[in-house]
Structure 1
Amino acid sequence: MDRRELAAFLRSRRERISPADVGLPAGIRRRTPGLRREEAAQLAFISTEYYTRLEQARGPRPSREVLAGLARALRLSDAERAHLHHLAGSPVAPPPGPPREVRQSILDLVRRLPQSAAFVTSATLEVLAWNDLAAALMEDFSAVPRRDRNLVRRVFLGPHPEGRRLYGVSDSDAFARHAARRLRAAAARYPDAPEVTGLVDELLAGSPEFARLWASHEVEGPHTLCKTFRHPMVGPVTVNCDTLDVADRDQQVVIYTAVPGSRSEEALRLLSVIGTQRMDVPL
């Protein structure tokens, strides 16, 4: 525990918050910028004496409950909350499971890529968000239950009787290896998350191929940079694959783009018009 740095950090965060920010009257005899110590203590549900000792670098190591109260009272960001825990000698506990909420700016980014098929995956490769072209190229994810949006489950336990197939894509075997590695890394980050452990148990019980890959303990490998979708309406569509890491949410944005001027680019343009409707079935 770094008492001196913790004291300075608490004081700096307290002084940047105005009483109006937390619904308190400003008053006329306020000699300090931001909140008073007693106000910060009240918002954190601790005694003023204890809080004062923390700011004077004389307090004992605060518990996780106290740190949570301080982070809430001082309106700390995720990075600031982690810094607070490190200064107190109590690193932030891992989240209970992979975050599923997608930040609004990422949702906006995905929707503003009309010529690219883009989607967001969680740490366990669950598809969390997608744009219209991704739905047209791969599948209308809104039409399937949440559990069926998990790409690891689909590649190993999918409904196709002819074997492992994922949206008619050319690199199913490579993606299977990638999916097993991603899931093993997620299991290490979220060892107690029922969502993760349950998925691993389900795959081990239902897929000998997954069990073999899981036993290899691989956690990294080459990424696929290009793949071909065999689409039933527009034929083969070859796309470049790029991913953007959203580190603070442990998520990835996957973007599929076609080479400009190629037949695949024309196919994506056609899919953007057709959407998810089917022309191979009678109306």
Structure 2
Amino acid sequence: MRELAGFLRSRRERMAPIGDGRRRTPGRRREEIAAAAGVSIDYYTRLEQARGPHPSVSVLHGIARALELNADERAHLFRLAGEAVPEEPASREVRPGVQLLLDRLRDDIALVMTDLGDVLAWTPRAALVHPGLRPGLNLLRAFFLTESGRIPEEEREDAARAHVADLRATLARRPAAQPLVDELMASPLFARLWAEHDVAVRRSDRKRIRHPVAGLLEFDCEVLGAPEHDQRLVIHTAPEGSVTARRLALLVSAEEAAGRMPEPWTPVPVSPSSA
């Protein structure tokens, strides 16, 4: 409990004092943290002195709020207390760093998706190559439940296997993925591959898709994003001078000439006042 006690003291002492700014001791008072956490001052004092009982999960949540811990600090608090780290809900807003990268890739084929397959944002060329992109689209549901044959049939099994192995890796990190798994069990292909228990985070791939205008396109795909993060940046590239690169250039030229080039799309954050 000494590590936990030291962490609590360090976080409390770094906080801005409430009220009188002439106090000699740094940070907030123990009674202020105890009140905000919903515990007694005696209980909280004993925790900081490594004399207290093992805190419950509800107490840890209260202390995390009272100390205004960020996500990493909150996870550390739970680990120090020997409790499972609570799962953070998946963000529906594109992370600022990811959005910066997406903006710089405007002339490339790139999209942002969650680790559960929900598409969040994309570049104009991504919308051109994938005409079905739309807000709220889940790529896993589209692949297993409403697939329209864009992937050549001889490659569908390998693509499905990669999707399933990646989703199993996600489920190990995020139990909230279970409802999606249950839903996808309606697909015989998904159910069969899920039973094989393959696990692999998807980081790169070679993908071939059938475009309704340009025909068969072949891309190298890179998936950027640490596995513990819930958002991924997926980039499609074609070697310069390849058949796909030439077909894509003709497609872009035709759409630009006709004024039909898609616009980029990113969800607009909802402010608390308008939520």
1:201 maps onto 2:182 in alignment: yes
1:136 maps onto 2:136 in alignment: no
| 2:86 match: secondary structure | coil
Runs of 4+ in 1 over 6 A off after TM superposition: 167-170
Q: Distance in 1 between matches of 2:243 and 2:13?
A: 60
Q: Distance in 2 between matches of 1:188 and 1:91?
A: 13
CA RMSD of aligned residues (A): 2.9
Partner of 1:156: 144
- Runs of 5+ unmatched residues, structure 2: 264-275
TM-score by length of 1: 0.78
Q: Distance in 1 between matches of 2:15 and 2:157?
A: 54
Residues 26 and 251 (structure 1), Cα distance of their counterparts in 2 relative to 1, 3 Å cut = same
Residues 153 and 37 (structure 1), Cα distance of their counterparts in 2 relative to 1, 3 Å cut = same
| 1:249 match: secondary structure | coil
Partner of 2:68: 75
Aligned residue among 162, 167, 170 for 1:178: 162
1:113 maps onto 2:105 in alignment: yes
- Runs of 5+ unmatched residues, structure 1: 278-283
Contact 2:107 2:123 in 1 (8 A): no
Q: Distance in 2 between matches of 1:113 and 1:102?
A: 15
Q: Distance in 1 between matches of 2:180 and 2:151?
A: 21
Partner of 1:64: 57
Q: Distance in 2 between matches of 1:76 and 1:256?
A: 38
1:34 maps onto 2:20 in alignment: no
More deviation, 4-13/255-264:
255-264
Query: Alpha-carbon deviation of 1:13?
Result: 0.8
Q: Which amino acid aligns with 1:64?
A: V
Residues 166 and 236 (structure 1), Cα distance of their counterparts in 2 relative to 1, 3 Å cut = closer
Query: Alpha-carbon deviation of 1:138?
Result: 0.7
Contact 1:98 1:124 in 2 (8 A): no
Residues 224 and 56 (structure 1), Cα distance of their counterparts in 2 relative to 1, 3 Å cut = closer
Q: Which amino acid aligns with 2:261?
A: G
Per-residue CA distance 1:103-154 (angstroms, 9 max, x = gap) = 2321232232123211222232222222222112113523x6x2xx222222
Partner of 2:225: 245
Count of residue pairs brought into register by the alignment: 257
Contact 2:201 2:227 in 1 (8 A): no
TM-score by length of 2: 0.80
Contact 1:169 1:227 in 2 (8 A): no
Identity over the aligned pairs, expressed in percent? Answer: 46
Q: Which amino acid aligns with 2:184?
A: L
1:275 maps onto 2:261 in alignment: yes
Q: Distance in 1 between matches of 2:111 and 2:202?
A: 21
